[in-house]
Amino acid sequence: MPELPEVKTIQDQLNAIMPFRIQRCSLSRVADSIVHTPMDHLVGRSLLRVERKGKLLDFILDDGRHLLSHLGMSGGWLIASEWITTKHTHVQFTSDSGYLGYVDPRRFGHMYLYDEPRAAAKLAELGHDLLAPEFTARYFKASLLRYPQRAVKVSLLDQSLFAGTGNYIANEICAHARVLPHRLVQSLSTREINKLYRAVSTVINGTITRGGVAFGGGYRDTKGDKGTGVQNLVVFYQQECQLCKKTPVVKTILGQRGTYHCPRCQK
């Protein structure tokens, strides 16, 4: 699933072609599993800019409405100068300047067209974005401690607390903070909570710099590139810990998600 660094990369690339006036909207035969709004309402409108909160892209229209796009497990946007023929393109916008297509092989993504109040309400369901100024050490600690009986990684994945985290990010945050992902929040010291907070920036910014992380046939940016963020991973999908360089990584299941840790580095 595209996580914050991947969605941020896509957002930045989309904003480079804004504004985008939609002259035509084409849908695949199975687009109704993704699109939950009449897309013909967009014809003649302009996408002014793309904002983001967590993993949710927010296309701002010239009439004040919002097209919210969640990429799900395998979704992404492509920018092209010619008609997009990529397999699994389910939504395609045409303008004088080119083409913009939503591609989603597994079709777990979603799109909604909302007015301002409904969009604001939807975005308010999310906690602070990991890159937002409001995402402070105080906010992080208070949010984490709301659920003391939870495992650390489970709370890190809670989008109502921390908008933008996903499985690989949560694993990597715990690794960089030297904290076992299975630890209960109530067992953490203040020093460990601060280390977790600092690790958020390390993981997020390091991955954004490399254009995101792709696994197999998953994430691609708007140019079809995978990004090289996989080179930054220290435990996730690793055979050996890339921090100590000598300990086999242990994989377990926590909250039905694959969870990776180094038994030497993390306590």
Active centre residues (catalytic): 2-3, 55, 257
Q: Quote the tokens at residue 208.
A: 């954004």
| DSSP H/E element including 69 | strand 66-70
* End-to-end CA separation in angstroms for the chain: 28
- Note the Cα 217 to chain centre separation in Å: 17
How far is residue 175's CA from residue 265's CA, in Å, rounded to a whole number? 8
Phi then psi for 147, rounded to 5 degrees?
Answer: -130, 75
3-state secondary structure of 128: strand
- CA–CA–CA angle 250, 252, 255 (5° rounding): 145
* Gap between the Cα atoms of 154 and 176, Å rounded: 17
Give me 87's structure tokens: 């397999």
Place of tokens 């897309």: 39
Angle between helices 190-209 and 137-144 (to 10 degrees): 120
Task: Enter the tokens of residue 189.
Answer: 């010291």
Nearest to 1 by CA among 166, 192, 184, 197: 166
Specify whether the backbone of 216 is left (phi greater than 0), alpha (psi in -120 to 50) or beta.
left
Place of tokens 């597994």: 106
